[in-house]
Chains A and B, each alone.
Chain A
Amino acid sequence: DGGITQSPKYLFRKEGQNVTLSCEQNLNHDAMYWYRQDPGQGLRLIYYSQIVNDFQKGDIAEGYSVSREKKESFPLTVTSAQKNPTAFYLCASSIGGIWMDTEAFFGQGTRLTVV
């Protein structure tokens, strides 16, 4: 089945740790995105990538980093510089680049909690 797979589903981070969230898609989509969702709020864009080896900051990129070494994969690292990382993280992809008027499809999400 085609889709977007995020792992892990739940992740716990200690203060000062970096953690990496995985996102893999087999939809052959060009564009991939990372969003953050806080309780009762909409989705805010962290980073996006239109093609391999290229990515751009979204609205709330501080404290996060990404890579896009393969078309299928777009991992997100939450660094210790992110002061309030507890949130629901959603990876998405869309066919074509972001310059196309296409919808985005989401993975199942990773819920990150700082302990």
Chain B
Amino acid sequence: QKEVEQNSGPLSVPEGAIASLNCTYSDRGSQSFFWYRQYSGKSPELIMSIYSNGDKEDGRFTAQLNKASQYVSLLIRDSQPSDSATYLCAVRSSSGSARQLTFGSGTQLTVLP
């Protein structure tokens, strides 16, 4: 069973702080990793994708990947109340008949004004 694990939270940070969201995965051969944001009652929307070890920055968001440690993270700089949502980590498995996207259970983030 391929697994993706996230700390469910809730994680609370003050406005303007850095929010750090973490994800580990069990399939060592996984090659593609994604972060989605999901507001309450809404569908997930893609924030970042990352495929190589290291950091990838997009505006206030930075995704970090460490394949050796099977770890991917998302940093949100200058957090805003509008960032309050559940963040889902998704990993595309490397083999098997499906190569499906497997999702973690999500981390609920609250940014306090």
Give me the interface of A with B, judged by CB distance under 8 Å: 33, 35, 40-45, 48, 56, 58, 90, 98-99, 101-109
Report the minimal beta-carbon distance from B111 to chain A, rounded to whole angstroms. Answer: 20
Residues in B with CB closer than 8 Å to A90 are: 43-44
Give me the interface of B with A, judged by CB distance under 8 Å: 4, 8, 31-32, 34, 42-46, 49, 51, 88, 90, 92, 97-106
Residues in B with CB closer than 8 Å to A56 are: 97-98
Q: Which 10 A-B pairs have the closest CB atoms?
A: A101-B32, A42-B103, A42-B105, A106-B43, A43-B103, A109-B43, A98-B99, A103-B49, A103-B46, A103-B34
Residues in B with CB closer than 8 Å to A58 are: 98, 100
B105 x A101 contact (CB < 8 A): no
A42 x B100 contact (CB < 8 A): no
Most buried by B among A35, A41, A43: A43
**Among A42, A98, A101, A108, which residue has its beta carbon within 8 angstroms of that of B106?**
A42
Of chain B, the residue at the smallest CB distance from A99 is: B99
B88 x A40 contact (CB < 8 A): no
